[in-house]
């Protein structure tokens, strides 16, 4: 029961956050320069035709009425028409979203594969050259933004060593091999950028767990150090690490906005930049809402798993 109450509270918090996101998104896009009706009709439009189109689009209504109509459209799957592409925003996002998810998920898998072993080694060999080397690599990873990692990977693995394309996307349904070939460079660049955060959390959590009494008890029973570390300490240390992984996935999904532009990856991030450049308000609103929703859902799933594996969280959340 405590677990259900905890989930209901977290879900309610997510709904409130989503409401605030819609409010802020709507408000910010309304203060952007440019008239939507004028953008649609062109610079030679008359005042009468602009006024007529504004009435058709509901732009002559009070802001609160426009906001309610917009939210009602979102709830029904109607995000409006893109001013640049002249197609439904929902269709554009439905096409681009899987590509961004593919990039973010692959990058997260790469970062987890690299960071958790590094974090374990750094914790087990605390204050040794291995620990110092891993910490230095983490510091470098934290210092460089994602887009700079993208440029580094392009220069080293595409321009210098060759063998990898620097731009574009191929659907896995069309050519799986070519798709992986185009995916490796941007996903690896993002994965390396995310590795530092997860590695530091893994190291910190493992050091805390290795100092607990139950670890010393396991050692006193004659268990090998490998079994103590991987079977006992890592199991408990993984709880905060999982939360960081979820946050890093959210960060990765947000980071695609810039990285997709670097690699010309046609995902929702690049679509958002296109909407900004062309003042495509409906497309910009829809893209922001979807990115925010993915971010919140990943955090909600992390909270759910965290509460499931650690009863202290749910009981604390139900008080």
Last residue in a domain, options 64, 86, 108: 86
- Would you say residue 125 lies in a domain? yes
CATH of the domain at 255: 1.10.3720.10
CB 287, CB 268: distance < 8 Å: yes
Shared domain check, 112 and 47: no
What share of the chain has pLDDT > 90, as a percent? 24
Position 310 scores a pLDDT of 65
139 phi-psi bin (left φ>0, alpha ψ -120 to 50, beta other):
alpha
Do residues 290 and 275 both lie within one domain?
A: yes
**15 and 139 part of one domain:** no
223 and 133 both lie in a single domain: yes
pLDDT tens readout for residues 254-271: 777 788 888 989 999 889
Tokens, residue 71: 């939210």
pLDDT for res 139: 79
Q: Which residue has the higher pLDDT, 266 or 278?
A: 266
Report whether pLDDT(5) > 90: no
Query: Could you tell me if 110 and 7 lie in one domain?
Result: no
What is the residue-averaged pLDDT of the chain? 84
pLDDT, position 260: 87
Residues 193, 67, single domain; the answer is no
Q: Are residues 31 and 95 in the same domain?
A: no
Burial class (CB in 10 A: 0-12, 13-18, 19+), 252: buried
Give the end of a domain, one of 29, 52, 86: 86
| DSSP per residue, 43-65 | TT--HHHHHHHHHHHTTTS-HHH
| Residue 72 falls inside a structural domain | yes
User: Do the Cβ atoms of 199 and 272 come closer than 8 Å?
Assistant: no
Q: Same domain, yes or no, for 55 and 127?
A: no
Do the domain assignments include residue 126?
yes
- pLDDT at residue 297 greater than cutoff 60: yes
Q: What pLDDT sits at residue 18?
A: 92
- Range(s) of the domain holding residue 57: 1-86
Query: What pLDDT is recorded for position 237?
Result: 83
Residues 196 and 183 in one domain: yes
Count how many domains the chain has: 2
| % of the chain surpassing 70 pLDDT | 91
Summarised one tens digit per residue, pLDDT across range 137-176 is 877 877 888 888 889 999 999 888 888 898 889 999 999 9
Question: Which of the two residues, 90 and 318, has the higher pLDDT score?
Answer: 90
Which SS3 state, helix, strand or coil, does residue 88 take? strand
**What is the spatial distance between Cα 315 and Cα 1, in angstroms, rounded to a whole number?**
10
Together in a domain, 163 and 273: yes
Running DSSP on this structure, what letter comes out for residue 130?
Answer: H
pLDDT at 314: 56
Give the three-state DSSP class for 246.
helix
What are the C-alpha distances in Å from 296 to residues 16, 154, 247? Answer: 11, 31, 10
**26 or 246, which is more confident?**
26
Q: Are residues 251 and 155 in the same domain?
A: yes
pLDDT at residue 319, rounded to an integer:
41
**Look-up of token digits 């690599």:** 137
Question: For residue 270, with 0-12 CB atoms within 10 Å meaning exposed, 13-18 middle and 19 or more buried, which class applies?
Answer: buried
Confidence of residue 304 (pLDDT cuts 50, 70, 90): confident
What pLDDT does 23 receive?
94
Residue 63 placed within a domain: yes
- Report the distance separating Cα 126 and Cα 120, nearest Å: 10
Is 319 within the bounds of a domain? no
- Between 55-69, 162-176, 194-208, 255-269, the lowest mean confidence (pLDDT) is in 55-69
**Residue 58: pLDDT over 60:** yes
Which of 69, 86, 103 is a domain's end point?
Answer: 86
Residues 6-38 pLDDT 10s: 888 888 999 999 999 999 999 888 777 666 666
Q: How many of the other CB atoms lie within 10 Å of CB of 211?
A: 10
What are the residue ranges of helices labelled H in the chain? Answer: 2-30, 36-41, 47-57, 63-75, 89-124, 129-143, 146-153, 176-210, 213-220, 225-227, 234-262, 268-277, 281-309, 311-317
Same domain for 257 and 280, yes or no, is yes
pLDDT digits (tens, 9 = 90+) for 85-143: 889 999 999 999 999 999 989 998 999 998 899 899 988 888 888 888 888 887 787 78
Of the candidate ranges 15-19, 205-209, 314-318, the one whose mean pLDDT is the lowest: 314-318
- Is there a domain that residue 74 lies in? yes
């Amino acid at each position: 029961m405590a677990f259900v109450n905890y989930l209901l509270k977290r879900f309610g918090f997510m709904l409130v956050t989503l409401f605030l996101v819609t409010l802020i998104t709507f408000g910010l896009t309304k203060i952007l320069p440019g008239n939507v009706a004028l953008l649609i009709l062109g610079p030679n439009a008359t005042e009468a035709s602009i006024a007529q189109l504004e009435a058709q689009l509901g732009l002559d209504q009070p802001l609160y009425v426009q906001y309610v109509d917009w939210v009602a459209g979102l709830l029904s799957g109607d995000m409006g028409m893109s001013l640049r592409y002249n197609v439904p925003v929902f269709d554009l996002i439905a096409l681009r979203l899987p590509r961004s998810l593919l990039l973010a998920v692959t990058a997260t898998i790469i970062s987890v594969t690299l960071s958790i072993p590094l974090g374990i080694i750094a914790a087990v060999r605390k204050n040794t050259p291995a620990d110092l080397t891993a910490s230095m690599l983490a510091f470098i990873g934290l210092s460089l933004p994602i887009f700079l990692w993208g440029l580094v990977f392009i220069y080293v693995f595409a321009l210098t060593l060759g063998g990898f394309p620097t731009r574009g996307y191929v659907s896995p349904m069309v050519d799986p091999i070519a798709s992986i070939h185009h995916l490796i460079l941007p996903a690896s660049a993002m994965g390396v950028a995310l590795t530092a955060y997860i590695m530091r959390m893994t190291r910190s959590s493992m050091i805390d767990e290795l100092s607990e009494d139950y670890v010393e008890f396991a050692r006193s029973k004659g268990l090998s150090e490998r079994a103590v570390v991987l079977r006992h300490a890592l199991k408990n240390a993984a709880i905060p690490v999982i939360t960081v992984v979820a946050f890093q996935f959210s960060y990765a999904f947000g980071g695609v906005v810039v990285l997709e532009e670097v690699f010309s990856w046609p995902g929702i991030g690049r679509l958002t930049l296109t909407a900004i450049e062309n003042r495509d308000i409906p497309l910009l609103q829809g893209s922001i809402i979807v990115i925010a929703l993915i971010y919140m859902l990943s955090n909600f799933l992390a909270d759910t798993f965290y509460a499931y594996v650690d009863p202290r969280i749910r009981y604390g959340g139900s008080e």
